[in-house]
Amino acid sequence: MGRQPRWRRVGSIPQVTYFKPAGIPLASIQEVCLSVDEAEAIRLKDIEGLEQDDCAQRMSVSRSTFARILLSARQKMADALLNGKAIRIEGGNYEMAVRHFRCGNGHEWEVPFEKMIEQPPELCPTCHTSEIMSLWPWRPGLRSGGRRLRGRRNW
Q: List residues near Zn ion by CB under 5 A.
A: 103, 105, 107, 124, 126-127
The CB-nearest residue to Zn ion is 124
8 A C-beta contact, residue 58 and residue 111:
no
Residue placing its CB nearer to Zn ion in the complex, 17 or 126: 126
Residue placing its CB nearer to Zn ion in the complex, 81 or 133: 133
* Maximum Cα–Cα distance across the chain: 57
Rounded Cα–Cα distance for residues 17 and 90 (Å): 7
- CB atoms under 10 Å from CB of 119, counted, come to 8
Residue placing its CB nearer to Zn ion in the complex, 83 or 134: 134
CB of 59 to Zn ion, least distance (A): 31
CB of 113 to Zn ion, least distance (A): 21
Residues 6+ apart with CB under 8 A from 29: 20, 21, 84, 85, 86
CB of 130 to Zn ion, least distance (A): 10
Residue placing its CB nearer to Zn ion in the complex, 73 or 124: 124
CB of 133 to Zn ion, least distance (A): 11
Q: Report the DSSP pairing between strands 94-96 and 8-10.
A: parallel
Query: Which secondary structure element, helix H or strand E, spans residue 113, and what is its range?
Result: helix 113-118
Residue placing its CB nearer to Zn ion in the complex, 30 or 126: 126
CB of 121 to Zn ion, least distance (A): 11
What is the DSSP annotation of 31-47?
Answer: EEEE-HHHHHHHIIIII
